[in-house]
């Protein structure tokens, strides 16, 4: 089976039947070649619906979970999006298909280098990169940016980092897995009149968010 066929199979089997029906989001999943963002030894599994090891104790997330989180954010083409956890770069590419500007933060330099090389080869021009403490978001980074319409966190925190809440624009949305180190709830936060409104959207399991407002490294 060709990779194009496998992408279509993934969307039609794992996303659409599970009520992912945002047309623009589905188009991004049809388009972005997930196999480019996984190590060569795992490429035959690239369009299965489970996470895969990308090294350094990190994973590329399950396709359905990526779709579900981004569906909750209801991303508009004018949005400025902060991504916490570049990882493989796959979700970054999906975001770059959906929004005006993507600001992505990764803790591990080697992962950032690999992801950026792939994203550059794919021709994305609307992505800004930072290596640093992911719990601090885009603080003191370039280009200077104070607020984001949407924030997606792809690692699990014991609670929602205050620095990220501070960087969420009024009426903005933030999605994050939060809870215990090995088991979390998926939390959606909306900022209204400077206050946050929180809803929960099921259990999940993500790698830990290491940083000054997250977990300590083991």
Catalytic residue set: 61
Residue of 155, 178, 151 whose CA lies nearest to 51: 155
CA 107 to chain CA centroid, nearest Å: 14
Q: What tokens does 146 get?
A: 């104070």
Do 39 and 54 form a contact (C-beta atoms < 8 A)? yes
Q: Which residues contact 111 (CB under 8 A, 6 or more apart)?
A: 54, 55, 56, 58, 86, 87, 88
Question: Between β-strands 80-84 and 58-60, what pairing exists: parallel, antiparallel or unpaired?
Answer: unpaired
Residues 6+ apart with CB under 8 A from 48: 10
């Amino acid at each position: 089976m060709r990779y194009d066929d496998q992408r279509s199979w993934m969307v039609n089997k794992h996303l659409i039947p599970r009520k992912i029906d945002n047309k623009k989001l589905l188009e991004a999943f049809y388009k972005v070649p997930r196999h480019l963002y996984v190590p060569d030894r795992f490429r035959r599994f690239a369009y299965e619906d489970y996470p895969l090891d990308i090294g350094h104790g990190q994973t590329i997330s399950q396709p359905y979970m990526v779709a579900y989180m981004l569906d909750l954010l209801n991303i508009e083409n004018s949005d400025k999006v902060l991504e916490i956890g570049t990882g493989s770069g796959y979700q970054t590419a999906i975001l770059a298909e959906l929004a005006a500007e993507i600001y992505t933060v990764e803790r591990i330099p080697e992962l950032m280098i690999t992801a950026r090389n792939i994203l550059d080869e794919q021709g994305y021009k609307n992505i800004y990169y930072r290596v640093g403490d992911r719990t601090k978001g885009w603080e003191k980074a370039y280009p200077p940016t104070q607020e984001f319409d949407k924030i997606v966190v792809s690692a699990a925190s014991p609670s929602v980092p205050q620095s990220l809440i501070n960087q969420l624009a009024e009426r903005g949305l933030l999605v994050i897995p939060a809870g215990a180190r090995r088991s979390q709830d998926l939390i959606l936060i909306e900022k209204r009149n400077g206050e946050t409104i929180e809803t929960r959207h099921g259990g999940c399991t993500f790698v830990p968010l290491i940083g000054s407002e997250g977990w300590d490294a083991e």
